C-alpha cells in the first residue's frame, strides 16, 4: 500500500534541533507539490526536536518517531524505512550536508528505471566536497571507498544519501550493519543490479565533529568482511583461510628456527615440533575469523583435534604430491619449485575442504540436527 504517497524521506537525527526547520524547508522547496512525507527518526535527543517538528508540521509534511530503546544511525534508518509509506524512499542527513535539490534527479532516475538504487555522490563528475579535508581524512576515505568497490560498483559507497523503490527493500532480518554504512548494506544485501550516482556537493556541517574515529574504521572493516562473505561466500572464506595459512607459515618458521638456535634441537625434530604451534595458530584464527559464523559449540579440544588431523593429511598430500610430481612428471623434475607450489596448493585445498565440511560445520546443518532432537526424545 502506498497511500498515494510518492516519496518518503527518512532522516536519522541525533541532537539536530537547529537543523530540523532548515532541512524541512530545503526539501519542501526542492520537491514543490510532490506528494511526499518526511520521517525524522530521533534517538531521544531530548533537545526539543519533537517540539520543533510539531511546530512546523502544519507547514510541511513532517513527522518524528522517537526511539528510546535503541541507538545508532543504521538501525534508525532501518526503523524509518519500516515506517515509510511512499513508493520510493530517500535517506539523507539532517545537517544540510546533502542538497535536497538532488532528490529530484534521484527520483527521476528511479522512476525511469535508469537505476534501481541511487546514491548522492561526491566522487562522480559534477560532485564535490568542501576543500578543507586534510590529507589523511582524504586518504582514509579513498582507501575505505576502494575496499568497497568489488562489492558495489559505485564511486561513493559510503554515502548516507541514497534512494530506492520501497518494495525493493531487503527483509530487515537480512540486515546486520556494523557501524555507519547502512546505504552500503542495503545496496549489497538488496542485490540491486543497476546502481547509479547523482553528483552532489557535500557540505561539511557547521558544528560538531565527524564520527569517523578509529573505532568506526575497525567496525567498517568488520562490516566489509561480512558483506564480502555475503557476496562471495566461498571465495572470501578461501581468501581468509589463505591469509591465516600464510601467517601460520611464519609461526612455523619462527619455531623451526628458534628451537634450533635457542634449544639446540636437531632440524628434523624442530620441524616436527614447530608444526604444532602453527596448527594451533591456524585453528585459532580460522575459528575466530574465517569460520566465525559457523557452529562452534562442539567443544574446542574436539575441534582442534579435527583441525590438526586434517592438517596432517594436508601436509602428507603437500609433500607426497611434491615427490610424485618431481619423480614422475618431467616438467616438474626440471622445475621442482613449481612442484612445491603445486603441493602447497593441493595440501591447502584439501585442508580448506576438510575444514569447511568436517571441522567447522555450517550452523544450519547443526540446526537441522537440533530440530530432529525433540522427536527422538519423545520416542
Ligand atoms: N537517530 C540517530 N541515531 N541519528 C544519528 C545517530 C544516531 O545514533 N548518529 C548520527 N545520526 C544522524 C545525524 O543527526 C545526522 O543527521 C546523520 O545521522 C549523519 O550524522 P553525522 O554525524 O553528520 O555523520 P557524518 O557527517 O560524520 O557522516 C556522514 O557522511 C558520511 C560520508 O562522509 C553520513 O552521511 C555517513 O552516513 C556517511 O558515510
Ligand atoms: Mn554530517
What would the 3-class secondary structure string for the chain be? CCCCCCEEEEEEECCCCCCHHHHHHHHHHHHCCCCEEEEEEECCCCCCHHHHHHHHCCCCCEEEEECCCCCCHHHHHHHHHHHCCCCEEEECCCCCCCCCCHHHHHHHHHHCCCCCEEEEECCCCCCEECCCCCHHHHHHHHHHHHHHHHHHCCCCCCCCCEEEEHHHCCCHHHCCCCCCCHHHHHHHHCCCCCEEEEECEECCCCCCCCCCCHHHHHHHHHHHHHHHHHHCHHHHHHHHHHHHHHHHHHHHHHHHHHHHHHHCCCHHHHHHHHHHHHHHHHHHHHHHHHCCCCCCCCCHHHHHHHHHHHHHHHHHHHHHHHHHHHHHCHHHHHCHHHHHHHHHHHHHHHHHHHHHHHHCCCHHHHHHHHHHHHHHHHC
Residue 179 has pLDDT above 90, yes or no: no
Distance CA 166, CA 357 (A): 39
Residue 379 has pLDDT above 60, yes or no: no
248 confidence band (pLDDT: 50, 70, 90): very high
pTM of this prediction exceeds 0.85: no
Residues with CB under 5 A from ligand 2 (ion): 95, 97, 205
Residue 369 has pLDDT above 90, yes or no: no
Q: What is the pLDDT of residue 138?
A: 80
Residue 370 has pLDDT above 50, yes or no: no
Residue positions counted in the chain? 379
Q: What are the C-alpha distances in Å from 375 to residues 362, 368, 378?
A: 22, 12, 5
Grid coordinates of 215: 573505532
CB 289 within 8 A of CB 239: no
- Quick one: average pLDDT of 91-114? 97
Instruction: Please provide the average confidence, as pLDDT, over all residues in the chain.
Output: 90
Reference 331, options 316, 317, 341; nearest CA is 341
67 confidence band (pLDDT: 50, 70, 90): very high
- Quick one: average pLDDT of 89-102? 96
Nearest CA to ligand 1 atom 23: 95
297 confidence band (pLDDT: 50, 70, 90): confident
Ligand nearest, relative to CA of residue 129: 1
Residue 3 has pLDDT above 70, yes or no: no
Q: Which atom of ligand 1 is nearest to the CA of 98?
A: 35
Q: Which of 160, 201, 220 to mutate to test the pocket of ligand 1 (most atoms within 8 A of CB)?
A: 160
186 lines ligand 1 (CB under 6 A): no
14 lines ligand 1 (CB under 6 A): yes
User: When comparing pLDDT for 266 and 376, which is higher?
Assistant: 266
351 lines ligand 1 (CB under 6 A): no
Residue 17 has pLDDT above 80, yes or no: yes
Q: Residue 73 Cα, ligand 1 centroid: separation in angstroms?
A: 6
Reference 31, options 87, 111, 81, 106; nearest CA is 106
Nearest CA to ligand 1 atom 15: 93
Ligand nearest, relative to CA of residue 209: 1
Nearest CA to ligand 1 atom 8: 72
Residue 366 has pLDDT above 70, yes or no: no
Reference 224, options 140, 156, 137, 158; nearest CA is 158
Q: What is the pLDDT of residue 296?
A: 77
CB 119 within 8 A of CB 157: yes
Residue 95 has pLDDT above 50, yes or no: yes
295 confidence band (pLDDT: 50, 70, 90): confident
Question: Model confidence over 71-91: pLDDT tens digits?
Answer: 999 999 999 999 999 999 999
Residue 207 has pLDDT above 90, yes or no: no
Q: What is the pLDDT of residue 60?
A: 97
Residue 330 has pLDDT above 60, yes or no: yes
Q: Which atom of ligand 1 is nearest to the CA of 180?
A: 37
CA atoms within 13 A on the CB side of 5: 21
Sequence-distant (≥ 6) Cβ neighbours of residue 90 within 8 angstroms: 7, 8, 9, 10, 103, 106, 107, 161, 162, 163
Q: What is the pLDDT of residue 298?
A: 80
378 confidence band (pLDDT: 50, 70, 90): very low
374 confidence band (pLDDT: 50, 70, 90): very low
Residue 347 has pLDDT above 60, yes or no: yes
Amino acid at each position: 500500500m502506498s497511500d498515494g504517497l510518492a516519496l518518503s524521506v527518512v532522516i536519522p537525527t541525533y541532537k539536530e534541533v537547529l537543523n530540523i526547520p532548515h532541512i524541512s524547508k530545503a526539501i519542501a522547496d526542492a520537491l514543490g507539490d510532490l506528494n511526499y512525507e518526511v520521517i525524522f527518526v530521533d534517538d531521544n535527543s531530548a533537545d526539543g526536536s519533537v517540539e520543533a517538528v510539531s511546530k512546523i508540521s502544519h507547514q510541511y509534511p513532517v513527522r518524528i518517531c522517537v526511539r528510546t530503546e535503541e541507538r545508532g544511525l543504521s538501525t534508525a534508518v532501518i526503523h524509518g524505512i519500516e515506517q515509510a509509506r511512499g513508493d520510493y524512499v530517500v535517506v539523507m542527513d539532517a545537517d544540510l550536508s546533502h542538497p535536497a535539490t538532488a532528490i529530484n534527479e534521484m527520483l527521476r532516475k528511479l522512476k525511469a528505471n535508469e537505476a534501481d538504487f541511487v546514491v548522492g555522490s561526491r566522487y562522480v563528475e559534477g560532485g564535490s566536497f568542501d576543500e578543507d579535508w586534510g590529507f589523511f581524512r582524504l586518504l582514509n576515505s579513498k582507501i575505505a571507498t576502494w575496499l568497497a568497490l568489488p562489492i558495489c560498483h559505485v564511486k561513493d559507497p559510503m554515502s548516507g544519501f541514497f534512494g530506492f523503490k520501497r518494495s525493493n527493500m531487503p527483509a530487515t532480518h537480512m540486515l546486520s550493519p556494523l557501524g555507519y554504512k547502512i546505504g552500503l548494506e542495503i545496496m549489497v544485501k538488496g542485490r540491486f543490479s543497476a546502481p547509479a550516482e547523482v553528483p552532489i556537493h557535500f557540505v561539511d556541517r557547521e558544528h560538531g565533529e565527524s564520527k569517523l574515529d578509529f573505532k568506526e574504521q575497525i567496525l567498517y572493516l568488520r562490516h566489509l568482511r561480512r558483506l564480502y562473505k555475503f557476496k562471495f561466500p566461498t571465495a572470501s572464506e578461501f581468501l581468509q583461510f589463505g591469509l591465516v595459512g600464510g601467517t601460520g607459515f611464519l609461526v612455523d618458521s619462527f619455531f623451526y628456527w628458534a628451537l634450533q638456535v635457542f634449544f639446540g634441537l636437531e632440524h628434523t625434530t624442530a620441524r616436527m615440533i614447530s608444526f604444532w604451534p602453527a596448527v594451533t595458530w591456524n585453528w585459532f584464527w580460522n575459528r575466530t575469523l574465517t569460520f566465525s559464523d559457523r557452529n562452534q559449540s562442539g567443544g574446542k579440544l574436539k575441534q582442534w583435534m579435527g583441525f590438526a588431523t586434517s592438517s596432517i593429511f594436508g601436509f602428507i598430500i603437500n609433500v607426497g604430491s611434491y615427490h610424485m610430481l618431481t619423480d614422475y612428471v618431467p616438467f616438474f623434475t626440471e622445475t621442482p619449485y613449481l612442484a612445491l607450489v603445486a603441493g602447497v596448493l593441493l595440501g591447502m585445498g584439501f585442508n580448506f575442504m576438510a575444514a569447511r565440511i568436517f571441522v567447522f560445520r555450517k550452523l544450519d546443518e547443526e540446526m537441522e540436527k537440533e530440530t530432529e532432537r525433540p522427536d527422538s526424545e519423545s520416542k
